[in-house]
Amino acid sequence: MSGHPAELDQAREHLRRAASICVLTGAGMSAESGIPTFRDAMTGLWQRFDPMQLASEEGFRADPGRVWRWYAERRAGVRAAQPNGGHRALAAFAQRHPGRLTLVTQNVDDLHQRAGNADAIRLHGDILAERWLEPCRRSPSCDPGRALAAEPPRCGECGNPVRPGVVWFGEALPYHALDAAELAARRCQAMLVVGTSGAVWPAAGLAAQARRQGAVVIIVNPQPSEIDDEAQLCLAGTAAQLLPALLDPL
Ligand code: APR
């Protein structure tokens, strides 16, 4: 915390009084668990890789093996990671106050779920999930988990390749997830935005939706973000440092 305990107390008081809290997390939430973010200078994945080649359907079709190996490496990193103090503080708050906190995440790791927020709304999918690249025409459809081992795995019957169960650039977000997230943003009295640059829509628009209906928006981020203007309070610090300080007393 950059020496502004008064802002921390203000933020805690807003959260204490809020009957309904919507939390939006981004890659910064998992940074202290050792999972790289996308846009941080030097360490961000998009500083080292071209997202259009690795996180798009076109990129996968152009070089399925390369994309598959890149996701396999990221999956191994997720499996080796552990939830940090920020994940645990959010899960503990949700357990102390059932039904009061709706967690919306842009992250495709499973750290919120492993910390205890099993019902986290996943806007961008799940890196540990697999699905067919083409719709399977069989009924019932074949199980991607039983595809033939290869890079990427393929259906033994028709050769359909398996792809990661994440939302790629240019793809629509899962409708029900986005609908639930927007409903939570429109109903909350406080929105806590943790570890996102606010660079990617529609997730980045949730803070404005909350602010427009009168919610207090609080941002936790060591750096400025593209949605700071939507916040009444910007707390300069990290998820694992600030979330326990914000939530544990409540
Ligand atoms: N605690 C809190 N925030 C942090 C921490 C930390 N320990 N470390 C970094 N951050 C902040 C950075 O300052 C940055 O604002 O996390 C943010 C990470 O931003 P991005 O890398 O852009 O990640 P995110 O906002 O989640 O990206 C949104 O873009 O590429 C797509 O699908 C991908 O879901 C992702 C989306």
Q: What is the pLDDT of residues 148-172, one digit of tens each?
A: 999 999 999 999 999 999 999 999 9
pLDDT of res. 5: 85
pLDDT of res. 2: 46
Task: Output b/e per residue, 105-119; b: 16+ Cβ within 10 A.
Answer: bbbbbbbbbbbbbee
Q: What are phi and psi of 193, to 5 degrees?
A: -110, 120
List the catalytic residue out of 87, 112, 124, 176: 124
pLDDT of res. 219: 98
Q: Indicate if 124 belongs to the active site.
A: yes
Strand-by-strand arrangement of the 233-235 sheet: 121-122, 101-105, 21-25, 190-194, 216-220, 233-235
Residue among 30, 111, 200, 241 to mutate when testing ligand 1 (max atoms within 8 A of CB): 200
pLDDT of res. 4: 58
Q: Which domains does the chain have, with CATH numbers?
A: 1-35+82-124+172-250 (3.40.50.1220)
Q: Whose CA is nearest to atom 13 of ligand 1?
A: 223
The finding on whether 200 has its CB within 6 A of some atom of ligand 1 is: yes
pLDDT of res. 52: 87
Residue among 196, 219, 228, 234 to mutate when testing ligand 1 (max atoms within 8 A of CB): 196
Angle at 191 between CA 94 and CA 119, to 5 degrees: 35
Averaged pLDDT, groups of 10, the chain, 250 residues long:
75 98 98 95 86 94 96 97 98 97 98 98 98 94 94 95 97 98 98 97 97 98 98 98 93
Q: What are phi and psi of 123, to 5 degrees?
A: -75, -30
pLDDT of res. 3: 47
3-state secondary structure the chain: CCCCHHHHHHHHHHHHHCCCEEEEECCHHHHCCCCCCCCCCCCCHHHHCCHHHHCCHHHHHHCHHHHHHHHHHHHHHHHHCCCCHHHHHHHHHHHHCCCCEEEEECCCCCHHHHHCCCCCEECCEEEEEEEECCCCCCCCCCCHHHCECCCCCECCCCCCEEEEEECCCCCCCCHHHHHHHHHHHHHCCEEEEECCCCCCCCHHHHHHHHHHCCCEEEEECCCCCCCHHHCCEEECCCHHHHHHHHHCCC
